[in-house]
Structure 1
Amino acid sequence: MKLLTNREELLARIRAQMHEKRFNHTLGVAQSARNLAVRYGADPDKAELAGLLHDYCKCWPVEKMFEILVRHDMPTELLEGEKELWHAFAGAIVIQTDLGVTDTDILQAVRYHTTGRAGMSLLEKVVCVADYIEPNRIFPGVDEIRALAEKNLDQALALALGGTIQFLIEKQKTVYPLTLIAYNDLVSRKGREGGF
């Protein structure tokens, strides 16, 4: 299928995949991603599109996501880990097959917006941070991450990932390895490069 170029048609397709609260979150992420892209020099159009598509599968039944992930040989630790992560990996597959998105930058930004990874691209960082700080988000520490995002994207991302790791540990949930790797990568870069 060819990528939908009509914005209203694309928004209608996205809206049909989710409930109203998730759609409002999606719009917030898209705008926040565009703003961060302008601030830090990423492509604003790609950032906005990745933000619009980042939760495309979030409201799908886990069984449907599981089938997609198995069919595409996703790693065992993902399949056996927290189901909350599945939508990002399934989403990257579905937006390519169903919506015709072929831009690797956008696909990677969608795929890693929940876990992060080592060596994240600027666009991946932008979308990941935008997902944390969009205006509808309310959780302890979000204002600090928002403030940091205005000054230093890597520092904001490290704080966000660190908070996620701490939250998961407190809830005695597994921490997906890529999240630890992403956090360690950001912190070690800080050390090697003399700060954020």
Structure 2
Amino acid sequence: MGYSRYNREELIAAVSAGMPSKRWKHVEGVMESAVLLAERYGADPVKADLAALLHDLAKFWPIEEQEAVIRDNGLNTELLRHDKQLLHAEVGAFISQRDYGVEDEEVLDAIRYHTSGRERMTLLDKIVCLADYIEPGREFPGVEKIRELAETSLEDALIAGFDSTISFLLEKGKPIFPLTLLARNDLIVNRTKPREAE
């Protein structure tokens, strides 16, 4: 079963060619973490792997090019008023569909919201977003706690991840993208009981 017009090896070759080797190592870590989380929480590991593979494909495109893709294709122009780090997720989802033939909306949304989150995140959204926080190469204050929470609760781990991001932005005096606050609040209001650690 395939979710793209390209096979996995072709996608790996195309995506890895568009970024430094250090970032590709990060992507491999996200793929590994996403598959583990998908298996733990009952999501489709093939979709998790694909979304993780593609999540940062536009990360190293020139900012002007990312902005042009958003403007020229009727994408979310609200992003243009916020941190440039948010652009690659929206652009990545668009390019995944246009250039790589990914039609699955669940996969495209997981790519689109892996940086910001959103209200009513799907299981796959949560998995790819969290995998991006906790992949083995990530090192930032609090990451071990987020990894620990991920053993028993996707929601609690993601809340901790968003808290970390929001705290960092507050310390730096940077604006916070409203969707991230909405995602965090939604997770808190609707969180489910943690599962038992295996």
Aligned to 1:73: 74
SS state at 2:114 partner: coil
Aligned to 1:13: 14
Aligned to 1:99: 100
Distance 2:16 2:163 in 1: 31
Distance 2:104 2:76 in 1: 22
The CA deviation at 1:166 is 1.1
The CA deviation at 1:115 is 0.2
Aligned to 1:109: 110
The CA deviation at 1:32 is 0.3
Whichever residue aligns with residue 119 of structure 1, its letter is: R
RMSD: 1.2
SS state at 1:116 partner: coil
SS state at 2:151 partner: helix
Distance 1:30 1:75 in 2: 26
The CA deviation at 1:3 is 1.7
Distance 1:123 1:8 in 2: 22
User: Structure 1, residues 93-137: CA drift from partner, whole Å, max 9, x if none?
Assistant: 011101111110100000000000000000000000000000000
The CA deviation at 1:73 is 2.5
Distance 2:181 2:156 in 1: 15
Aligned to 1:38: 39
The CA deviation at 1:75 is 3.6
Percent sequence identity over aligned pairs: 51
The CA deviation at 1:138 is 0.5
Q: Does 1:28 align with 2:32?
A: no
Aligned to 2:131: 130
Aligned length: 191
Q: Does 1:147 align with 2:148?
A: yes
Whichever residue aligns with residue 92 of structure 2, its letter is: G
Distance 2:175 2:70 in 1: 19
Report the TM-score when normalising by structure 1.
0.94
Q: Which moved more, 1:66-75 or 1:131-140?
A: 66-75
SS state at 2:75 partner: coil
Whichever residue aligns with residue 15 of structure 2, its letter is: I
Distance 1:186 1:69 in 2: 28
Aligned pair in 2 of structure 1 residues 96, 75: CA closer, same or farther (>3 Å)?
A: closer
Report the TM-score when normalising by structure 2.
0.93
User: Structure 1, residues 6-48: CA drift from partner, whole Å, max 9, x if none?
Assistant: x222111011111101100000000100000000000000001
Work out whether residues 56 and 92 of structure 2, in 8 Å CA contact, stay in contact via their aligned partners in 1.
yes
Work out whether residues 130 and 158 of structure 2, in 8 Å CA contact, stay in contact via their aligned partners in 1.
yes
Aligned to 1:88: 89
Distance 2:92 2:31 in 1: 16
Work out whether residues 76 and 90 of structure 2, in 8 Å CA contact, stay in contact via their aligned partners in 1.
no
